[in-house]
A and B are shown apart, each in its own frame.
Chain A
Amino acid sequence: MKKYSMETTVGIFVTIGLLLISYMTLKFGEVSFFGDDSYSLYARFTSVSGLRAGSPVEMLGLEVGKVAKLSIDQENQMALVEMKIKKGFKIYDDAIASIKTSGLIGDKYIQIDPGGSGDLLKPGGAIIETAAPLDIEELIGKYAFGDIKEDKKSDKENAE
């Protein structure tokens, strides 16, 4: 076997190291050097609690984009969500956007029902029909308090 010189070893080491770094940044960091292949759509929700920039946007169960920015629309007192949708996925103006939870305690994501009877949404357009996330705590609270009231009632009835 040929013994490599010191320079060659260092060269190989540095090259592999740089390759690994660039692999990590490209694969995991999702930095794209080849321009933006997505367009943005907007949607207004009454609440976006639990949603973060970077949360997935799904259509028919497939990931078609990401949440780019969350802000407040001061005029309408609504939360404004900017979504980046990959080019090639058509969404119409009668689409419905709703915030869902994956699993019982999982992350929040936006589910889009693309619609189909209306006009095609242009980049920068807005989805009008939206549904805020289901508040599980509120539901549990209602259920729990309802139970307690009923129990009290039945206790009273028993006492009488």
Chain B
Amino acid sequence: MKYFWPNTYLIAIFNYLGRAAIDIVNNLGAATIFFSKAFLMIFRPKQVQPIIQQIFYIGAKSTGIVMMVGLFTGMVLGLQLYHALAEYGSEGTLGSSIGLSLVRELGPVLTAIMITARAGSAMTAEIGIMRISEQIDALYTMRIDPLRYLISPKIGASIISFPLLTAFFDIIGLIGGYFTGVVLLGLNSSAYIYRIQYSVEMSDITGGFIKAIVFAVIVSTICCYNGYFTHMRSDSYGAKSVSLSTTSAVVMSCVMILVSDYIVTSFLM
């Protein structure tokens, strides 16, 4: 043995760290190229029909669950904030607090997380199964670009659907807050509405929609990327790799939604 033992272990540790870092940078770069290629293909001809089809699955079919979550979020906000504000005798500002927290933060973030759970997981599983059953290779041999045919309609539909669903969530949440605050707890109804109009500014609304678009890009890219490269996973193969890709896509999307939410907010403030 030329080297004494701590040296080899040290090198092994640095080896491991280096490989992990290279993997992360590699994946980030690949995902960026993947997104930009697919995004540019949105504007090619004959893409409108598939995008409409995807809006149906990603947007229109998520309306119910988004409205349900929005209603109960608004209602619980109304209940909690009413009792918290009543301690300072300022229940009148309930409208401000519900309006601002919904439009700025909760609307975009919770909508994005719900769509990830509903449509993002489906995207990954669908593309992943197409990959392991070699349907994507079949498309390629027929000279159909799989990025253009499979991925870019999903990304385009997400960018359109996320802001619309966020608007659904915001309005339904405000109605939920109205229900608990005004109908159940007896707040003055015009004070609630006036407070929302008084404190919610145009910049809050545009900020919320910018967030929704950023989340749309992140969620659709992560979900499609994980599904598309299911066969490249080193830890498993076959059906198992589809399940692992779906799990990691959903987890990573949720984490990235919250991380990017902080970053976007700090830029908007």
**Chain A contact residues, CB within 8 Å of chain B:** 6-7, 9-10, 12-14, 16-18, 20-21, 23-25, 27-31, 54
Q: Are B168 and A29 in contact (CB under 8 A)?
A: no
Which residues does chain B contribute within 8 Å of A9, judged by CB atoms? 56, 60
Which residues does chain B contribute within 8 Å of A14, judged by CB atoms? 55, 59, 160, 164
> What is the CA–CA distance of A111 and B238 in the complex, to the nearest angstrom?
73
Which residues does chain A contribute within 8 Å of B55, judged by CB atoms? 10, 13-14
Q: Which one of B18-26, B125-133, B196-204 is at the interface? A: B196-204
Q: Are A28 and B164 in contact (CB under 8 A)?
A: no
Q: Are A27 and B170 in contact (CB under 8 A)?
A: no
Number of contact residues on B: which range applies?
A: 20 to 34
Q: Are B99 and A28 in contact (CB under 8 A)?
A: yes
Q: Are A21 and B202 in contact (CB under 8 A)?
A: no
Q: Are B52 and A28 in contact (CB under 8 A)?
A: no
Which residues does chain B contribute within 8 Å of A16, judged by CB atoms? 168
Chain A CB within 8 A of B165 CB: yes
Q: Are B167 and A29 in contact (CB under 8 A)?
A: no
Question: Chain A binding site: helix, strand, loop or mixed by DSSP?
Answer: helix
Chain A CB within 8 A of B63 CB: yes
Say whether, besides A28-B205, A29-B201, A10 and B52 are in contact (CB < 8 Å): yes
11 other A-B residue contacts (CB within 8 Å) besides A13-B55, A20-B168: A6-B53, A13-B56, A13-B60, A23-B171, A24-B170, A25-B202, A25-B205, A28-B201, A29-B200, A29-B205, A31-B202
Q: Which of B103, B165, B197 contacts A17 (CB 8 A)?
A: B165
Q: Are A21 and B163 in contact (CB under 8 A)?
A: yes
> What is the CA–CA distance of A18 and B200 in the complex, to the nearest angstrom?
19
Chain A CB within 8 A of B209 CB: yes
> What is the CA–CA distance of A20 and B165 in the complex, to the nearest angstrom?
10
Q: Are A28 and B196 in contact (CB under 8 A)?
A: yes
